[in-house]
Chain A
Amino acid sequence: MNLRVSRHLKRTNELSRARYFIINTVIGIIVAGSLFDIATRREHWPFSYYDLYSGASNEYSLTLLRLYGVTESETPGEFPLYSFRYIQPFDNARLRFALDTIDAGPNRYDRLSEALRDCLRRYEALRVSGRHDGPPLRGIRFYRVYWRLDPWARNLDFPDRKDLLFEISQSGKGRS
Chain B
Amino acid sequence: MEWLRMKWDRLWFEPAPPQNLGLCRVIFFGAVLLFYLPKDFSGWATVAEVFWRPLALFRWLHLKTFSQEHLEIMQLAWKTALALSCIGLLTRLSVAASFVLGIYLLGLPHNFGKVHHADAILIFVFGIMAISHCGDSCSLDRILRNKTSFIASRAKRTLRSAEYTWPIRTIWLAMAFVFFAAGWSKIRQSGMAWITSDQLRIFLLQHNYYLSDSDPLTSWGLVVAQYPGICHLLAAATIVIETSYPLALFSRSARRIVVPAAFLMLVAIRVLMGPGFEVLMICHIFWVPWNRVFYRLIRASKIPAPSTQQA
Contact = CB atoms under 8 A, between A and B. Distances in A.
Interface stretch (B19-27, B106-114, B141-149, B292-300): B106-114
A101 interface: yes
A89 B105 CA distance: 13
Contacts of B186: 53-54
Contact of A15 (B55, B116, B162, B180): B162
A12 interface: yes
Task: Kindly state the interface size class of chain B when it binds its partner.
Answer: 35 or more
Interface in B95-120: 107, 109-110, 112-117, 120
Contacts of A50: 117, 178, 181-182, 185
A134 B253 CA distance: 53
Contacts, number: 202
Contacts of A57: 197-199, 202
B50 A153 contact: no
Nearest to B40: A89
Contacts of A96: 113
Task: Kindly state the interface size class of chain A when it binds its partner.
Answer: 35 or more
Closest 3 CB pairs of A and B: A98-B113, A89-B43, A56-B190
Interface of B: 2, 5-6, 9-10, 12-15, 40-41, 43-44, 46-48, 50-51, 53, 55-57, 107, 109-110, 112-117, 120-121, 123-124, 127-128, 131, 161-163, 166, 170, 173-174, 177-178, 180-182, 184-186, 188-191, 193-194, 197-199, 202-203, 205-206, 208-214, 219, 222, 225-226, 275
Given A38-B180, A57-B202, A102-B50, 20 more contacts: A14-B161, A23-B166, A26-B128, A26-B170, A45-B57, A49-B185, A50-B182, A52-B275, A55-B189, A56-B197, A80-B210, A89-B46, A93-B213, A94-B213, A96-B113, A97-B114, A98-B53, A118-B51, A150-B205, A153-B219
